[in-house]
Amino acid sequence: MKTDLKTNLKSIWARAYVRIVGANREPSWILSETVLPLLNTAAFVYVYKALRAPEEYIGFVILGGAMTAYWMNVLWSMASQFYWEKEMGNLELYLIAPISRMSILLGMAIGGIFYATLRAVVVFVFGSLIFRVNFFISGVVELFLIFILTMIALYGMGMFFASLFMLWGREAWHTSNLFQEPIYLLGGFFFPVKTLGYTVAMFASAIPISLGLDGMRQLCFKTGKTLGFLDVKIEILLLLGLSIFYIWISHYALLFMENLGKKQGRLTLKWQ
Amino acid sequence: MNHAIETLKLNRTFKIKKAKDKPAPSFITALEEVNLTINKGELFGLLGPNGAGKTTLIKILCTLLLPTSGTALVDGVDVVKNPALVRRRINMVSGGEHSGYGILNVRENLWMFSQFYGVPKKIAYERIDTLLKLFGLDEFAKTRIGKLSTGMRQKMNVIRGFVSDPEILFFDEPTLGLDVQIAREVRKYIANWVKNNSQKTVLLTTHYMAEADELCDRIAIIDHGKVIACDSPSNLKKLLRKETIVHIEINLTDENFEHFSQLPGVKKFALEHKHNIGRTELKFILENDSAISQVTQALSSNGSKIISLSKTDPSLEDVFVALVGRSLESEN
Ligand SMILES: Nc1ncnc2c1ncn2[C@@H]1O[C@H](COP(=O)(O)OP(=O)(O)OP(=O)(O)O)[C@@H](O)[C@H]1O
Ligand SMILES: [Mg+2]
């Protein structure tokens, strides 16, 4: 048991290492991963400025723009990672190793989070400075809790998507594509989710980032609470629920998909 | 004591996707009633033409594929019931695999894979550095793997298999596409590893006869998913000790010479087209020497000019021809 845990921890670090070292070795990535999102976020800021929206909205957009980094990482890197690994011939090597599939995904996630955080911090710090956002933090502990739980739930959801990519490549790819824009909308990256109306916002809350962003905005800005969707405490509980749910379901989805793949002979490329 | 590998009536079929114009999906039998027992300390070869089922068997033993029916045990552990326990004992290397990450160098990639087996850092680097040196890759330890040649890449893959120090190591065509010199180094290392570790086992697949002959303690010849013979190379060749083996070269032709297998004294007959040298090689398993003249007469009445004729000791290739009725290479 103890050696199992050790092996899994080592695997997580080894897999994360690829991404962390990668970021250092290709500095040009860093530029495109930080400057472009910053411009994207700035565009929304100017929309709100042009419309003379309340000042909070600018802070909202910058927070949303920063959190987009994690969403992109989950959707484009984490979810489809197994598909690429299969194409490269790494997936089978992961699967024959005596480790949990979740460790591999967690390793990828940590590598990705490192990267996404870089992007998030750049958008957040530069955005806040350039547009002179006024923060008013009303609860540090809650803010921290919400952020962590959002991350766990979001990457848990990523693991669930990843299980689908174990067998489906192109099909799952299209699905990701399909999801990107609607989730931008439902996730409320660039406006308060409450704007969508209660029912839609409720559905949108299945996406961890909607609740997470809403909670963070409430805790970061003076008038945040008035624009919030649910009470922050309730949001924390819901996020906790989502975290458990997504990790639980991805555990079973990974087992299920792996077994299905073993049955149908689709875990490896046929022509290998 | 457990056997390293044991299979009992192992079957695997694949469902082929239904085509639009066909009423029902069809099935391919990749393995049929495979019974194999491989002892610890053996270097065991699976020899067979393309599509024989070699990779399928390896995948089942490596827990990447479920059998349709039957049992497979690795070190006494059932691959279906307890795959996690099997995985601790094995590793696998395939020919021409493109594993690893281009952003990392050779040493880092090998380290990464060793971590999935929990090898302590110091031991991992010791093993990696020793093996890199042994395979003449030490100069390239810090080279990103994208810059390696095919041969070097494959050496790295082979090293990957050894770094986790598994009990049972599977090689699927480890020397595929390697030049002679590198293939020889790889074979030599594999052979020594088994020789120097009495409890370690290697199962390798190949369709190079000479490789199987030179390397393996025992060989299973497999064709269309069935094991048709299983013994040591020398015993397999003894199957043909009474027969006469004759190889004849003629100019390249697309004739199939099917009627030659009906000639008196001809037990089995196969042909192989050697496009690179513009010749067709005919391989005959004859009952005795006197049948040779039958064959040469039939050839000349057929209008074929004999370029060379040799009577040889049986090779594994001839054993394959005798058992299967066609040449192994002719499938490629
Ligand atoms: N995942 C799969 N789906 C459908 N058919 C498959 C699959 N894997 C293998 N097959 C079929 O099963 C048969 C056995 O294939 P296998 O790859 O085991 O042969 P092999 O002996 O390894 O051949 P090669 O020398 O070409 O590697 C072939 O007819 C192959 O087309
Ligand atoms: Mg094969």
**Does residue A271 sit within a domain?**
no
**Does residue A272 sit within a domain?**
no
Per the structure, the count of domains in chain A is 1
CB contact under 8 A, A262 and B66: yes
Percent of chain A with pLDDT over 90: 35
Tell me if A263 CB under 6 Å of ligand 1: no
Predicted local distance difference test score (pLDDT) of residue A139 = 86
CB contact under 8 A, B108 and A21: yes
Predicted local distance difference test score (pLDDT) of residue A272 = 43
Task: Place B143 in a pLDDT band, splitting at 50, 70 and 90.
Answer: very high
Tell me if B95 CB under 6 Å of ligand 1: no
CB contact under 8 A, B99 and A96: no
CB contact under 8 A, A89 and B87: no
Specify the residue with its C-alpha closest to ligand 1, atom 18: B53
Residue B284: in which H helix or E strand, if any? strand B279-286
Per the listing, tokens 């199992």 go with A4
Residues measured by CB to lie within 5 Å of ligand 2, the ion: B 55
- In which region does residue A67 sit, left (phi positive, over 0), alpha (psi from -120 to 50) or beta (all else)? alpha
Closest among B219, B159, B151, B150 to B189, alpha carbons compared: B159
Percent of chain B with pLDDT over 70: 98
Compute the nearest-CA separation of B92 from chain A (Å). 8
The atom number, within ligand 1, closest to the CA of B52 reads 21
**Does residue A170 sit within a domain?**
yes
Residue A272's closest chain B neighbor by CA? B97
pLDDT digits (tens, 9 = 90+) for B160-205: 999 999 999 999 999 987 888 889 989 999 999 999 999 999 999 9
CB B80 within 8 Å of CB B68: no
Tell me if B50 CB under 6 Å of ligand 1: yes
The answer to whether domain B242-313 has CATH 3.40.50.720 is no
Tell me if B28 CB under 6 Å of ligand 1: yes
Mean pLDDT score of chain B:
91
What one-character-per-residue DSSP string does B150-201 give? HHHHHHHHHHHHHHT--SEEEEESTTTT--HHHHHHHHHHHHHHHHH-TT-E
Task: Place B331 in a pLDDT band, splitting at 50, 70 and 90.
Answer: very low
Q: What is the ipTM of this complex?
A: 0.88
In sequence order, the 6+-apart residues with CB closer than 8 A to the CB of B303 are: none
pLDDT digits (tens, 9 = 90+) for B217-233: 999 999 999 999 999 99
Q: What's the rounded Cα separation, in Å, for the pair A185 and A179?
A: 10
Q: How many CA atoms lie within 13 A of A100 on its CB side?
A: 19
Predicted local distance difference test score (pLDDT) of residue A258 = 95
Percent of chain B with pLDDT over 90: 58
The atom number, within ligand 1, closest to the CA of B65 reads 1
pLDDT digits (tens, 9 = 90+) for B33-69: 999 999 999 999 999 988 999 999 999 999 999 999 9
Ligand 1 geometric centre to CA of B53 (Å)? 6
Residue A18 sits at the chain B interface (C-beta within 8 Å)? yes
Tell me if B30 CB under 6 Å of ligand 1: yes
DSSP state of A133: P
Tell me if B143 CB under 6 Å of ligand 1: no
**Does residue A108 sit within a domain?**
yes
> For the ranges A23-27, B175-179, B300-304, which has the lowest average pLDDT?
A23-27
Residue A84 sits at the chain B interface (C-beta within 8 Å)? no
pLDDT digits (tens, 9 = 90+) for A88-108: 889 999 999 999 999 999 999
Residue A1 sits at the chain B interface (C-beta within 8 Å)? no
CB pairs under 8 A between A and B: 86
Q: What are the chain A neighbours of B16 within 8 Å (beta carbons)?
A: none
Tell me if B51 CB under 6 Å of ligand 1: yes
Mean pLDDT score of chain A:
86
Ligand at shortest distance from the CA of A271 = 1
**Does residue A19 sit within a domain?**
yes
Residue A20 has pLDDT above 50, yes or no: yes
Window B:34-63, CB contacts with A under 8 Å: 55, 59, 62-63
Predicted local distance difference test score (pLDDT) of residue B332 = 39
Cα dist from A32 to A16, A63, B234, whole Å: 21, 19, 63
CATH number of B3-237: 3.40.50.300
Top residue of B112, B145, B154, B170 to mutate, by most chain A CBs within 10 Å, is B112
Specify the residue with its C-alpha closest to ligand 1, atom 5: B14
Tell me if A132 CB under 6 Å of ligand 1: no
- The residue among B5 and B183 whose pLDDT is bigger is B5
Ligand 2 geometric centre to CA of A31 (Å)? 43
Query: What is the domain partition of chain B in residue ranges?
Result: 3-237, 242-313
Residue B242 has pLDDT above 90, yes or no: no
Q: Which of A260, A262, A266, A270 to mutate to test ligand 1, by most ligand atoms within 8 A of the CB atom?
A: A270
User: Residue A200: which domain range?
Assistant: 2-264
Compute the nearest-CA separation of B111 from chain A (Å). 8
Tell me if A197 CB under 6 Å of ligand 1: no
Q: What's the rounded Cα separation, in Å, for the pair B166 and B113?
A: 13
Task: Place A270 in a pLDDT band, splitting at 50, 70 and 90.
Answer: low
**Does residue A91 sit within a domain?**
yes
Predicted local distance difference test score (pLDDT) of residue A1 = 61
Residue A13 sits at the chain B interface (C-beta within 8 Å)? yes
Q: What's the rounded Cα separation, in Å, for the pair B257 and A250?
A: 60
Angle (CA) A42 A45 A47, round 5°? 115
